[in-house]
Structure 1
Amino acid sequence: MSPTDPARGVLPLVVTIAVQALVSLAALAAPVMAPAAALSTGLPAGWVGIFVGVVYAAACVSTLVAGDLVSRFGPIRMSQVSLVLCGSGLFAAALATPAGLVLSAVLIGLGYGPVTPASSHILIRTTPPHRMSLTFSLKQTGVPLGGMLAGLMVPLLIHGLGWQGAAICLGGALLAMAAVTQTIRPMFDSDRDPSRPLAPSRALKPLMKVLATPALRDLGLCSFFFGAMQLCLTSFLVLYLTEARGLSLVTAGSILAVAQVAGVVGRLGWGWMADKVIVPRLLLGLLGVVMGAAGISLAMVGPGVPILGFALIAAIFGASAIGWNGVFLAEVARLAAPGEVGAATGASLFLTYGGVVVGPPLFASLVAQSHSYPLGFLAFGALLSAVGVFLMLTGPRRGGRQASAPS
């Protein structure tokens, strides 16, 4: 059977979700491990902001060249490479040295970059146009699923095995998934082009094409800020709740899991709405305003707020700041030229990850200078509200292969 056979329609979605969830788990485990790791390494818990920045700096590099790599070697092979790199990064973290943590961040970042271009390459071949946003949103539930696993499983693994044992255990799971996906490689890598060139001079061409297409450029630049806000939420929520609000690590991890669950629900709901109800660009603008308002709300709550109050804000924050990606990626796939979905996705994510590189270190700097997590969430919340208003007021731009309209 071919990948486009209806009987095989669910398989690519299941595989891409599983790979995305495990790679996201590798990237999001560090913020949950940060308090425990700080005790054994002597580093301040705030090092996680730098760690996340290095992860996504490396992801910027690998996602920019992912289009050519996916076309040449196939999306499944590149997914396997991603899993092995991220698993190796977790093993490096278990060394519990500054050099090991730097190596860990680089390896995880290099592995994180190609995953979404690879999955988009698969899904654009297997998804009917009228289900594009929902299918891409379903695939992107792998990100909050990975975060949910990080929030729920990692504290328990740390309790039983220590944080280094937890890192080794998670790394082994990623290597196992890489081995499992070998069985389906002949089916989904059948369109690979071994003659596709891999010259350094080609690296910037997809980015130039995105920046030259107004609709893609708007989405990519706004995703810079969306990505920054998303990673600030997932990277600093646990630290904020434990250090500034005095909650236990398990309670704070559970609230992070609430945000991730809301992100899963949000991605499904927003994907359906973008296909059936509202123009994707307008929906993304609304989500920008909501995540901005949630960040401001988190900054303004007092120490007497009950746990349920934090969980409610986290749910709204997660549904918006974690839930936007599927609509964004489906819109990029719609607007990309035929045969260039992987390259356009990689170039757009280069801008997204750029925000992630800048966002967490800037947030950490604001907190360090002011000794106030609320100030960080307040500043980023105001900025995201402005970005959301821009998307809503400017309207769809011309350019791309298909208009951005509900089916």
Structure 2
Amino acid sequence: MSQIKANDEKGSYRWVILIIATFSQTCATFVNYGVGPLATFCQEIYSLSQFQTGLIVSAVNIGPIFSMLIFGNIMDKYGERWVVGIGSILLGLTMLITLPINEYVYLLIVLAFVGVWYGTAQPGGSSAIINWFPKNKNRGLAMGIRQTGIPLGGALASTTLPFFFYNYGLSSAKLTQAIVAIAGGIIFSIFYKDHGMTAQRQQNDRFLEKINKIKAKSSLYPVFFIGMSMISLQLIILAHLMSYLSNTLHISLSISGTLLSVVLIGGAIGRILLAWISDNLFNGDRSKPLQLTILLTVSILIVLVYFLNYLPLWGIYIICFILGFLGVGWYSLFIVLMSEKADKEFIGLTVSFGLTLNQIFIVLAPSLFGLSVDYFNGYKLPFFLLILFISIGGIWLNLSERNNKCKTQKETEKVPLNRKKRHRMT
């Protein structure tokens, strides 16, 4: 009876964990995505070039490349509570260092360290959901809700930071970011409870041995590739959709900005709904809905590139919503699939490994796409290459899943054959 009561309490506390993890992710992203508006403010004050302005955003995104693997490894050993909590607090404290800085180069250096602490947020929150929500207990839905913290944090930063900047100055915007991050870290540290602190947490494998075990797991390869291709699409949408609509369809920047907002709204809804679909319509299977999402994404991109000029404005709004629903909403399925394919003792490190690869493409994809648009003097060929890149991931995952099914079928067929041989011998 006491065991049932304990399970009920644990089940209800899962949703508290979800709220805490989502809140913490929102607070951390408020700083990370808030660097975008911050870069615009700096451009206005210091008369920076477009390249210099872009480097400010790149600086904060470079940091997690060097930190996520380390933090993921620590979380696997000791749990998420203090790593995520203290990481968010240090994120805010490092942001405070930027308050007196007026030199451009020094700002870039400090923002790179801000990005280092942001490396605790994504793998920590994902690991928390995987540990607290069993596979058939709304895990996909929970991950989808937590992932909304990213667009939510970005949206809050985009709306609140300009208010503080234009009314109280640049320092007030930086201070707001710091306070929000510190608050998120304190709340997470107080209310989060580590789950599953078993002997698995204290495994003695060395860091490089764990990395080699992850690299040896071939079933993760197509998932990693999908992460790299789809995150490239996501960042290209954020960086280039407005200019694409403006340059090719001659839509005003104000309407293009509204269409980009529609994409982000579709993405927030997609992150929840696609994950819910995987829980309820696919019985916890993440691979099939992710493959379907990739197929539909490719289809909508073809419409975007080759048929958009034939559509009325309301049709373009629908296309942009669907593009966001798929091209931004895919992320929850990806995170859960990667986590479920990982070894139980390496969940944090595996997620960090995949997100580190993603982070490299977050930094590179927007600039490479822009260079290809300049080189080919148009958007069609760059978009075609992007469509090809995305398609490879979906096909690879499909082939990998088929091979794994064949292997498991052969293994199950061998078991009764071995039993028959033993029976004959007796």
TM-score norm. by structure 1 comes to 0.81
> RMSD across aligned C-alpha pairs, in angstroms?
3.8
Give the number of equivalent residue pairs. 396
2:232 pairs, out of 228, 233, 244, with 228
Supply the distance in 2 between the matched residues of 1:235 and 1:92 (Cα, whole angstroms).
Answer: 28
Alignment check: 8 A CA contact 2:20 2:187 kept: no
1:143 maps to 150
Q: Based on CA coordinates, which of the two structures has the bigger radius of gyration?
A: 2
Supply the distance in 1 between the matched residues of 2:244 and 2:287 (Cα, whole angstroms).
Answer: 32
Residue by residue over 1:3-46, the C-alpha shift from the partner in whole angstroms, topping out at 9 and shown as x without a partner, is 97123121110111111122223222233444443233333334
Supply the distance in 2 between the matched residues of 1:242 and 1:160 (Cα, whole angstroms).
Answer: 31
**Bigger shift: 319-328 or 27-36?**
27-36
1:355 to partner: Cα distance: 2.4
CA, structure 1 residues 155+306, in 2 after alignment: closer, same or farther (shift >3 Å)?
farther
Supply the distance in 1 between the matched residues of 2:111 and 2:243 (Cα, whole angstroms).
Answer: 19
1:214 maps to 218
1:365 to partner: Cα distance: 2.7
CA, structure 1 residues 309+42, in 2 after alignment: closer, same or farther (shift >3 Å)?
farther
Structure 1 unaligned spans of 5+:
none
Structure 1 counterpart SS, 2:197 = coil
1:108 maps to 114
1:134 maps to 141
Supply the distance in 1 between the matched residues of 2:274 and 2:351 (Cα, whole angstroms).
Answer: 19
2:34 maps to 29
**Bigger shift: 32-41 or 270-279?**
32-41
1:124 maps to 130
Structure 2 unaligned spans of 5+:
1-5, 410-426
CA, structure 1 residues 261+104, in 2 after alignment: closer, same or farther (shift >3 Å)?
farther
CA, structure 1 residues 189+392, in 2 after alignment: closer, same or farther (shift >3 Å)?
closer
Supply the distance in 2 between the matched residues of 1:338 and 1:110 (Cα, whole angstroms).
Answer: 25
Supply the distance in 2 between the matched residues of 1:347 and 1:74 (Cα, whole angstroms).
Answer: 17
1:127 to partner: Cα distance: 0.9
Percent of aligned pairs sharing the same letter:
20
TM-score norm. by structure 2 comes to 0.78
Residue by residue over 1:286-343, the C-alpha shift from the partner in whole angstroms, topping out at 9 and shown as x without a partner, is 3223334444555557799876555433322221222112111212222222222112
CA, structure 1 residues 96+73, in 2 after alignment: closer, same or farther (shift >3 Å)?
farther
1:348 matched to 2:354? The reply is: yes
Alignment check: 8 A CA contact 2:271 2:325 kept: yes
* Over 6 Å off, 4+ runs: 1-4, 241-244, 301-307
1:331 matched to 2:344? The reply is: no
Alignment check: 8 A CA contact 1:46 1:364 kept: no
1:267 maps to 271
Alignment check: 8 A CA contact 1:230 1:321 kept: yes
2:69 maps to 64
Alignment check: 8 A CA contact 1:366 1:376 kept: yes
Supply the distance in 2 between the matched residues of 1:165 and 1:341 (Cα, whole angstroms).
Answer: 38
